């Protein structure tokens, strides 16, 4: 359970404003390889944090020491989060691909989809395995 909470906290940290100086000509943003802009990079990082949280939840469900009651409680929430994660991943891929030809492509669908998964994870009941 501590891993789940840590993964969710990591996701929240990645989404929250970092408090860094704003990019400028003297202090340009260094993007990760493959990222087209800061929004693209941030959305991808958020998606990876959500994926880590889901993997932690799936590990809890697969753990033989997890009680059947806990599995039955968590499973519907995990399944919904996985479904919404799949949608979020497609939304981000669509946004990322659109940036190749349109630098002003809207990230709104990807942002909304990732927020939905984060909400799913936040609404997952806190149980002890």
Question: How much is the average pLDDT of 30-56?
Answer: 94
Q: How many CB atoms lie within 10 A of CB 111?
A: 19
Q: Are 58 and 78 in contact (CB under 8 A)?
A: yes
Distance, in Å, from the CA atom of 55 to the CA atom of 102, rounded to the nearest integer, reads 33
Residue 107 — very low, low, confident or very high, per pLDDT cuts 50/70/90? very high
Q: What is the pTM of this model?
A: 0.76
List of residues 6+ apart from 112 with CB closer than 8 A: 91
Report pLDDT for 129.
61
Report pLDDT for 24.
58
Report pLDDT for 126.
87
Torsion of CA 84, 86, 91, 95, to 10 degrees: 140
- Residue 101 gets which letter from DSSP? T
Average pLDDT, the chain: 85
Q: Which residues of 27-46 are buried (b: 16+ CB within 10 A; e: fewer)?
A: eeeeeeeebbeebbbbbbbb
Report pLDDT for 4.
55
């Amino acid at each position: 359970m501590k891993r789940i909470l840590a993964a969710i906290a990591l996701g929240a940290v990645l989404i929250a404003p970092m408090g860094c100086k704003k990019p400028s000509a003297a202090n340009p943003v260094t993007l990760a390889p493959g990222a087209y802009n800061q929004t693209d990079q941030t959305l991808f990082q958020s998606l990876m944090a959500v994926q880590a949280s889901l993997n932690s939840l799936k590990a809890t469900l697969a753990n033989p020491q997890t009680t059947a009651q806990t599995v039955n409680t968590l499973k519907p929430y995990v399944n919904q989060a996985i479904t919404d994660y799949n949608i979020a991943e497609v939304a981000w891929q669509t946004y990322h691909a659109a940036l190749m030809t349109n630098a002003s492509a809207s990230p709104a669908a990807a942002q909304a989809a990732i927020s939905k998964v984060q909400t799913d994870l936040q609404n997952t009941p806190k149980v002890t395995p």
